[in-house]
A and B are shown apart, each in its own frame.
Chain A
């Protein structure tokens, strides 16, 4: 089935417009009768029928566990606990955000218990293997689409607390804690961040010593800045916590280690020598009880040291297989990788929700007539509105593939792939969450005043998702780590005179790609050009970055100080790496699709994704990868791509597979949803 010809589309549009006119034409007499009202007409009428199979596209988007996702959507839609409300004849589910913070927290906990009873969390900690992990990711994504608080609360319990026990603990911890955690017999939290230390975990001030007389560790918060801060679950519910602390043995600091401490008894009373306070109301995530914890020489059994990396013998000797404290510390950060994977992926789902709502609205809402007495123009028929939303849609497609790739390499991790996973997860977490915040803002504005209503979700989600650029690693810090890792790779290759291998840097082994000076439309849309220009930028920026660092070092600056000074190049390089890596995941996904309408629309999306980066990222002009003429050609092509994607817009957001009940009233009949009769009892 080919795509409808432009002529068909025009005549279809004309019919639609005529439908709007019909009402106007009947009132020819210059009477005082009121002009006919606007009628809601569904987005399907403003779009040609999809020319690719929506289920096939959804399979590509979600990537895995579609049935599990649908099952969980159903569990939420069908339960009163998920606050179903009717608007415009449809049921929508989303939390009641007008509830008090305390009420929202209790609802989060009730929903968790319901999902637990339904068996949603089965095998989340007791299961093993890539399939179990992918299923867990899928279900967690769906939960996040309902409410970010619910996802975060579960993420803390299963991924952080549970993950810490899995990764840092040994058999005795696994046997004791994993099953009880999976069944919520105990509620865990994860106390890493302190008031005085966030991203710099190595600087935390909590201190733990060992008392060989009693065989216990003693955990202490020696000063106010050592109080644990933002600890999800600590304020109300958690019974146990992982405590990150400096370990002091025989007067020697052995660096950061992780311990298990109980903070509440089974009745919910706070344990002796533990003080807990609330972090208070936040701009979002008020369904999560973030708290602060002080430890006043809390005593815990020796067995509560999570000892996969290091242990202390009963008589107080420090034992570790990893002698290098740097490596030891790196081993401790492993669970944060799984956090970054889930954050990156949930950011994409948040973008999908906001785009589905904003694009559906833009296909039903009109504003201004071109000439008097003409019907008003549909928002998405304005080229400017297309330019605002469709590039973000294309990028969201690209990032969907990126997130699927990231999940895949994470669940198939090996000791050798740890470095790649660390770098890729840092880069994608930062890029995908920044993209989400930008998308939310644009979609909010694109919905005008309606975007401000909490029930329409987008505006509210800005507050809910803002935290993503901060937790599990500040985005800017993560991106610096990416460029630092690339630099280290570059230096190693130079030093050992070996080719690049890994992180997708193999292209640097080949000669520098040639980018034609004249960019035609077909060049701009070719995957060869798109790959070349991204590789060219990454290669050049890496070389420049390395040169600048070595030059600064030659001037006598320390390596660390030189890195600080070169932050601009570092930033550009981090982006260049991410863009190239994300494009690669897109190309790989595209290659797996057989030719046909679906593949054609994917190629349009890919071109839009690349060209919008070329247009928006100043580095291409700054470093001369593109000429001003090139930039003009690209800008023109973006406009053309917008008009080519316009007929697919509805099908593309429908392919996200988000149930109607998870969208919002403005995505459907917003006139009915706001009618006077809808406010009558």
Chain B
């Protein structure tokens, strides 16, 4: 079992009412297997993903990966990410519509399991975040593809600061395609079950019937898009920080200071590689993004430049002292060649670049769905 602890389970649904619940066990392998099988099964018209309990999915079990790393076994961790990214790719290139019901926490791997699909339904319970830079990791699972395609430089903001978004914000920025109040979810599901069509327009029309336009709260960061664009469009992390500091001088403001704080608390290495990953992702296809992220994550788990991932998990997930000691501890201690390493091939005989399964139906559905 490598993914998703107690608060997570996934239900795959085909519309002829086959419902499969996946709890523990080899979740990702199982999902991948099912996705591939359903693609061939002409009875399956669409795939519904949802969580049980208060989360959709709060991400992979990185603690287990760190455990393996500590025992000197980075390759087990690498294998976990390999499978996860393959699943992300299959979802991104899937020939049938995937409907994800995001009635709760959607973080990290959970975002990866939904955002590549055609429909993402947010509710008043949705909480979205990519908190990886605080863990010494970087937004992966294809996030460099998806975040970079959010409006303006909102993706940089979300990916670097780990900011939390609610359902209304997810809809506004395009991470969600619909907003359905949770009270209506069971009737929506029932309606989807009755459908005998894979036509996205028809499915969308059904979801539309249950959707409403949520109110974007006054304090929403999405209203700050202009400021976000001004600051997060800068070329480097250092320049982003000084742009934010200039804004802070212009007007004392909690939001700006907390944004600066989250950047200062994050791993400097994570910030630098995350920014570069999102910037490269903006001009690449989803496959290229996942290949690059796989290279990056292998370097992260090998810990040759920085061991921040282990340290971040220790401080946030294991010891919970929330006081990670990043190394290198400052942005200016990271030179270009250190960052370049994360984007290069891994120097190990057995290692290879991420390879995708042949997708006979690699079609227009491989488009960005944002």
A interface, CB within 8 angstroms of B = 40-42, 44-45, 53-55, 67-68, 70-71, 73-75, 77-79, 88-90, 117-119, 657, 659-660, 669, 672
Contacts and interface: CB of A to CB of B under 8 A. Distances in A.
A136 to B, nearest CB: 14
A356 to B, nearest CB: 13
Given A53-B353, A67-B276, A118-B234, A42 B282 contact: no
Contacts of B235: 68, 71, 119
Contact of B363 (A41, A68, A77, A90): A41
Given A41-B363, A89-B367, A119 B283 contact: no
A78 B288 contact: no
A672 B279 contact: no
Interface in B127-154: 148, 151-153
A77 B353 CA distance: 29
Contacts of A75: 233
Interface string B79-96: 000000000000000000
A39 to B, nearest CB: 9
A64 to B, nearest CB: 13
Nearest to B232: A78
A78 B151 contact: yes
Given A53-B353, A78-B151, A70 B283 contact: yes
Nearest to A68: B235
A40 B361 CA distance: 12
Interface of B: 148, 151-153, 229-230, 233-235, 239, 276, 279-280, 282-283, 285, 288, 292, 353, 362-364, 366-368
Contact of B234 (A40, A41, A45, A119): A119
A88 B279 CA distance: 24
Contacts of B233: 74-75, 78, 118
A90 B279 contact: no
10 contacts: A40-B364, A70-B283, A74-B279, A78-B151, A78-B282, A79-B229, A90-B367, A119-B235, A659-B282, A669-B364
Q: Looking at A55, A77, A657, which has the most chain B CB atoms within 10 Å of its CB? A: A55
B144 to A, nearest CB: 11
Nearest to A114: B233
B279 A70 contact: yes
A42 B363 contact: yes
A111 B206 CA distance: 42
Nearest to B148: A74
Q: Looking at B151, B152, B234, B367, which has the most chain A CB atoms within 10 Å of its CB? A: B367
Given A41-B363, A117-B230, 5 more contacts: A55-B292, A70-B283, A71-B235, A73-B282, A669-B364
Contacts of A669: 364
A658 to B, nearest CB: 8
B363 A70 contact: no
Q: Looking at B148, B153, B279, B288, which has the most chain A CB atoms within 10 Å of its CB? A: B279
Contacts of B283: 70, 73-74, 77, 657, 659-660
**Closest 3 pairs between A and B when the two form their complex, measured CB to CB:** A659-B283, A74-B282, A70-B279
Given A70-B282, A74-B148, A659-B283, A89 B288 contact: no
Contacts of B288: 54-55
A110 B292 CA distance: 35
Contacts of B366: 42
Contacts of B279: 67, 70-71, 74
B362 A42 contact: yes
Given A67-B276, A74-B283, A42 B234 contact: no
Contacts of B364: 40, 42, 88-89, 669, 672
